[in-house]
Amino acid sequence: MTAGSPATPVSRAPRSLRAAAGLLALTAVTAAACSSGSTGPRLKVTGAYVPRPASPDVAAAYFTISDSGDKGDELTGVTADVSAQAMMHQSTGRTMRMVDRVPVPAHGRLTFAPGGYHVMLEHPTRSLREGDHVRLTLRFRRSASITVDAPVEPVGYRPGASP
Amino acid sequence: MPFFPFARRRARSRRPARARTRPVTVIRASRLIAASLVLAAAATGCAGASNAHSSPPVRISTPPSDLHAATLGTALHEPDLTLTGVSGKPVNLRRATAGKLTLVYFGYTHCPDVCPTTMADLAGALRLMTPAQRARIAVVFITTDPWRDTPKVIRSWLASFNPSFIGLTGDYSTIEAAAKSVGVPLEQPKRTGADYEVDHGAEVMPFGTDHLAHVLWTAGVSSRDYASDLTKLLARMPAATAKGGGA
């Protein structure tokens, strides 16, 4: 079981290119091209995870996007390899609403976390167990998309919380 | 079981009236490569002004007194409610939880974010407490989506958190009235084609053996904070002289 292991930011870390194939290599290359500019957004995705869903019909994905660049960006969509319907949501009070785009501030971060922003994964195509991974691809308005493998963590997992 | 007949079983995002109405965007995995190519081309410039703005995630937190719960000006009365339990048999809320500190939450199992997180936070809190303390606490999940949340579905869902949690389902208007009576106004489920949308509660209410709640937690409380508060609430409660029969 790999609980606790960080999400693997596939599109960073040139050394991993040897192991990455096809699509992953492509996104890595484009991300590198983008982040070499000094004025653009420089995005990094960390801490991605999917709590093991209690329902067989719906799961959620969370992550943090940090931008060390001088320009902000916008997250415009997320796809997942376990769901044809991945939607960005924001929980507000007793409801949640779908969101089209979420800003990533320059020299700042955007966090998807329980009770706030989340990616809803409807009708997962396989049962998700701890130790599995869900491949998420995040698309941005300016930057190249970034693909990460989000580990499936225990149900109700919160980063940093012990129980 | 008197479930409403209209629901087709399909989870769907919530799009309340105030949110923009637009077709749901479905991105197929098979388009990933094409999307990457397009973005690759678009990204080479890395230019453009950033004027994005939108509100950050909503987090409600009002830490009063010595608890992480909010103190209520007027106590809430535990609904005297009989619904269907996970075994399919009628369960009276007050009788099933007699003598216990009873934590009530309204939610639904197709809820991706707040509902499972809240139940997991409560389950985590109980794990932090002693068996003797746990024996004095009941956690009750009342569904706001009785159409999909059959006893079987709820039992399976709750088992992921703590199989001792009590799950209740039944007639929606009964559930809605009970929720309203404790200050949880549920919007009428909205149908969007074959789908529908329901609300969940934003609060967890602890009812004492007197069937009153004087505080409540809004969603987003950590297990540690729940456990701390529950320990204090138990200390204020009359010792478990198990008053069989309850209400």
Q: What is the pLDDT of residues A87-97, one digit of tens each?
A: 999 998 888 88
How many residues are given for chain B? 247
Within 29-88 of B, beta carbons closer than 8 Å to A belong to 29, 32-33, 35-37, 39-40, 42-50, 52-54, 56-60
Provide the pLDDT for residue B91. 98
Rounded CA separation B59/B19 (Å): 19
Across the interface, of B22, B128, B202, the residue whose CB is closest to A163 is: B128
Rounded CA separation B190/B186 (Å): 11
How crowded is the C-beta side of B200, counted as CA atoms within 13 Å?
30
What CATH number is attached to the domain comprising B129? 3.40.30.10
Closest by CA position to B247, among listed B103, B91, B115, B136: B91
Provide the pLDDT for residue A94. 86
Q: Which comes out higher in pLDDT, residue A163 or A64?
A: A64
Q: Is the CA virtual torsion B186, B61, B121, A75 positive or negative? A: positive
What CATH number is attached to the domain comprising A118? 2.60.40.1890
Cβ-based neighbour number of residue A68 at 10 Å: 13
Task: Say if B176 falls within a structural domain.
Answer: yes
Task: Say if A24 falls within a structural domain.
Answer: yes
Contact A136, A148 (CB under 8 A): yes
Report which secondary-structure segment, H or E, holds A112.
strand A108-112
Task: Say if A147 falls within a structural domain.
Answer: yes
pLDDT, tens only, A97-146 = 899 999 999 999 999 999 999 999 999 999 999 999 999 999 999 999 99
Contact B140, B97 (CB under 8 A): yes
Task: Say if A132 falls within a structural domain.
Answer: yes
Q: Give this prediction's pTM.
A: 0.74
Reported ipTM exceeds the 0.85 cut:
no
Q: Is the CA virtual torsion A80, A86, A92, A95 positive or negative? A: negative
Cβ-based neighbour number of residue B155 at 10 Å: 16
How many distinct structural domains can be found in chain B? Answer: 1
SS (H, E, C) chain B: CCCCCCCCCCCCCCCCCCCCCCCCCCCCHHHHHHHHHHHHHHHCCCCCCCCCCCCCCCCCCCCCCCCCCEEEEEEEECCCCEEECCCCCEEEHHHHCCCCEEEEEEECCCCCCHHHHHHHHHHHHHHCCCHHHHCCEEEEEEECCCCCCCHHHHHHHHHCCCCCCEEEECCHHHHHHHHHHCCCCCCCCEEECCEEECCCCCEEEEECCCCEEEEEEECCCCHHHHHHHHHHHHHHCCCCCCCCCCC
Across the interface, of B19, B160, B222, the residue whose CB is closest to A54 is: B160
Provide the pLDDT for residue B191. 75
Q: For B201, list phi and psi in degrees, rounded to 5.
A: -70, 160
What share of chain A in percent tops pLDDT 70?
75
Task: Say if B35 falls within a structural domain.
Answer: no
Rounded CA separation A114/A158 (Å): 8
| Tokens describing residue A62 | 């969370």
Task: Say if B227 falls within a structural domain.
Answer: yes
In the 8-state DSSP scheme, what is residue A32? H
Inspect the interface and report whether the beta carbons of A163 and B187 lie closer than 8 Å.
no
User: Alpha carbon of B181 to those of A93, A124, B97, B185: distances in Å?
Assistant: 18, 36, 19, 8
Name chain A contacts of B35, Cβ cutoff 8 Å: 79, 137, 139, 145
How crowded is the C-beta side of B205, counted as CA atoms within 13 Å?
25
Q: Which residue has the tokens 């990204």?
A: B43
Closest by CA position to B48, among listed A102, A106, A26, A29: A106
- Give the type of residue at A119: V
Across the interface, of B39, B161, B222, the residue whose CB is closest to A30 is: B39
Domain extent, residue B100, equals 70-236
Provide the pLDDT for residue A110. 98
Task: Say if A158 falls within a structural domain.
Answer: no
Provide the pLDDT for residue B154. 98
Domain extent, residue A36, equals 8-153
Provide the pLDDT for residue B193. 67
- Give the type of residue at A128: L
Contact A110, B214 (CB under 8 A): no
How many distinct structural domains can be found in chain A? Answer: 1
Task: Say if B25 falls within a structural domain.
Answer: no
Residues 6+ apart with CB under 8 A from B241: B99
Contact B226, B84 (CB under 8 A): no
Within 45-104 of A, beta carbons closer than 8 Å to B belong to 51-55, 57-60, 71-74, 77, 79-81, 84-87, 89-104
Per-residue pLDDT, averaged over A44-60, amounts to 97
pLDDT digit string (tens) for chain B, length 247 residues: 344 433 333 334 443 333 333 333 333 333 333 444 334 434 433 333 333 343 334 334 444 468 999 999 999 999 999 999 999 999 999 999 999 999 999 999 999 999 999 999 999 999 999 999 999 999 999 999 999 999 999 999 999 999 999 999 999 999 999 999 999 989 888 776 667 888 898 899 999 999 999 999 997 899 999 999 999 999 988 875 544 443 3
